[in-house]
Amino acid sequence: MTTGKHRRPSVAIVGAGVAGLVCARRVAEAGARVIVLDKERNVGGRMATRRTGALQFDHGAQYFTAREPAFAAQAALWVRRGLAAEWNGRMVVLEQGRAVAAPNGLRRYVGVPGMGAVALALADQAREAGAEVHSGVEVASASRDRDRWRLSSMEGLSLGSYDMLVAALPAPQAASLLAADAQEIASRCTVRLLPCWAAMVAFETPLTVPFDGAFVRGAALSWVARDTSKPGRPAREAETWVLHATPEWSAAHIDAPHDAIAASLLAAFTNAADVDVPPPSYLGAHRWRFALPDEPLPEHHLWSDTLRAGACGDWCGGPRVEGAWISGGTLGEEIAATL
């Protein structure tokens, strides 16, 4: 790895969700040349905010909690910087129109002015550390050429050659990317990721229901939230809601048309809350094909020092935003230690 003088080792990170961005920052701070590539238009993965005209929806991750001391300190820093705030909305368990107060043991935080704000801040921090972050670039394949990793696009174009490779992707996608030349890692990417359909609804008239967020039982829905009840949201003329379907219902309707999904989930919400709702001013749907890890791996990340390749995400060590943050951070620290 020398050419007359020391050359900075290069690291390609495929995936710009929370795990990939945290990993990128740690590795860049250690002095490596880091390139982050993501096929989506925006960074953050499910830490996302959908904007439609004057409306916005947290259609992916609804909030995050902080159980581990390190992540609790990070959440507190985001709050101090105005990137996040504690959400003290009225939480209930909803079943067949009956609402029971949900257990109140954990603080719930949201990004400000939307969940995507935290992801954008993580991308900015990675760039400040020296990493390049590119969205709208889909990596189709990764191949081992002697001691380097070569990446190619869907069109067969070269996306560069790197000393190390990180798949910061959902487990099935990580397995596919690493299958050819990192089988020992790909074979561990066996976690099943459950799907989730999300409906986004806006009403000109606020709903008269006694909750802002509800865990739903015995319905096609698993969760509903009044997005406009979250702190730091811009003033809107309409009230916005996000409705999440259960993994089972989502899987059974995985290829259904978006408009049919949105209508079905709105009807399920009406039945579960036992409330008459006015005609929505906006109704849409989004499909998260890889949303919830069924049984996360016990390890926080996967890494092979021999292959110089690894994988991370919320399917390693534990789900949720916190799990992704820890996964990317611990992998970044392990890579930094090898530089």
| Mean of pLDDT values over 66-70 | 95
Tell me the pTM: 0.95
- Per-residue pLDDT averaged across 8-17, rounded? 97
pLDDT digits (tens, 9 = 90+) for 294-338: 999 999 999 999 999 999 999 998 889 999 999 999 999 999 999
- Residue 4 pLDDT greater than 80, yes or no: no
Q: Would you say the CATH fold of 63-114+192-293 matches that of 10-48+118-190+296-338?
A: no
Short-list 154, 155, 123, 128, CA closest to 13: 123
Tell me what the mean pLDDT of segment 29-45 comes to: 97
- Determine the average pLDDT of the residues in 2-19: 82
CATH topology of domain 10-48+118-190+296-338: FAD/NAD(P)-binding domain (3.50.50)
Q: Please report the DSSP string for 203-221 in residue order.
A: ESS----S-SEEEEESSSE
Residue 301 phi, psi dihedral angles, 5° rounding: -165, 170
- Give CA–CA dist 176/311, Å, rounded: 12
Q: State the Cα–Cα distance between residues 65 and 44, nearest whole angstrom.
A: 17
Please state, in angstroms and rounded to a whole number, the distance separating the CA atoms of residues 335 and 339: 7
Torsion of CA 123, 128, 131, 132, to 10 degrees: 70
Q: What is the pLDDT of residue 23?
A: 98
CATH topology of domain 63-114+192-293: Polyamine Oxidase; Chain A, domain 2 (3.90.660)
Alpha carbon distances (Å) from 318 to 108, 162, 191 = 17, 29, 11
| Whole-number Å distance between alpha carbons of 314 and 337 | 22
The DSSP annotation for 90-131 comes to -EEEEETTEEEEPP--S--EEESSSTHHHHHHHHHHHHHTT-
pLDDT of residue 196: 98
How large is the average pLDDT for residues 67-96? 96
Instruction: Please choose, from the candidates 300, 293, 299, the residue with its C-alpha nearest in 3D space to the C-alpha of residue 319.
Output: 293
- Distance, in Å, from the CA atom of 114 to the CA atom of 295, rounded to the nearest integer, reads 28
CA distances 91 to 87, 88, 165, 237, Å, are 10, 8, 42, 24
| pLDDT value at 284 more than 80 | yes
Instruction: Give the three-state DSSP class for 222.
Output: strand
Q: What percentage of the chain reaches a pLDDT higher than 90?
A: 91
Beta bridge partners of 93: 100, 215
Q: Residue 306 class from Cβ within 10 Å (0-12 exposed, 13-18 middle, 19+ buried)?
A: exposed
- Residue 2 clears pLDDT 60, i.e. is over it: no
| Confidence category of residue 277, pLDDT binned at 50, 70, 90 | very high
Q: What's the pLDDT score for residue 3?
A: 37
**How many whole angstroms separate alpha carbon 291 and alpha carbon 244?**
11
Position 6 pLDDT exceeds 80? no
What count of other Cβ atoms lies within 10 Å of the Cβ of residue 107? 14
The pLDDT value given to residue 1: 34
Instruction: Dig out the tokens for 274 from the structure.
Output: 């036992």
What are 134-179's pLDDT values in tens digits? 999 999 999 999 899 999 999 999 999 999 999 999 999 999 999 9
Average pLDDT, the chain: 95
Residue 174, both tokens: 């990580």
Checking if the pLDDT of 5 tops 70, the result is: no
> Using an 8 Å Cβ cutoff, are 260 and 245 in contact?
no
Q: What integer is the mean pLDDT of 51-66?
A: 96
Per-domain boundaries in the chain:
10-48+118-190+296-338, 63-114+192-293
Q: Across the strands, what pairs with 151?
A: 142
CA angle 237, 239, 241 (to 5 degrees): 150
Three-state secondary structure call for residue 266: helix
